[in-house]
Amino acid sequence: MDINLGDVVETKKNHPCGSNKWTVVRIGMDIKIKCSGCGRIVMLDREKFQKRVKKIIGNIK
């Protein structure tokens, strides 16, 4: 999976706020994503991130 900084991704499950769209904020050993609905920031390791992502929607740059 090719992920870039600023990509908007859709997850398989919704966040408790109701949104399932996230923006990639940091890429490295771990990936940091920000919820489009409430603004919460979550850090996941690459393996968990790739399991949870349904599709890459686009880039906000």
The pLDDT tens digits for 23-37 are 999 999 999 999 999
Residue 44's pLDDT band (boundaries 50, 70, 90)? very high
Domain residue spans in the chain? 7-59
User: Quick one: tokens of 16?
Assistant: 């408790």
Q: What's this model's pTM, rounded to 2 decimal places?
A: 0.88
Q: What's residue 39's pLDDT?
A: 95
Q: Other CB atoms closer than 10 Å to residue 23's CB: what's the count?
A: 19
Q: In this model, does residue 61 exceed pLDDT 70?
A: no
Tell me the helix, strand and coil percentages in the chain, rounded to 5: 10, 50, 40
Own/partner contacts of 18-21, CB < 8 Å, gap of 24 or more, are 20/54, 21/57
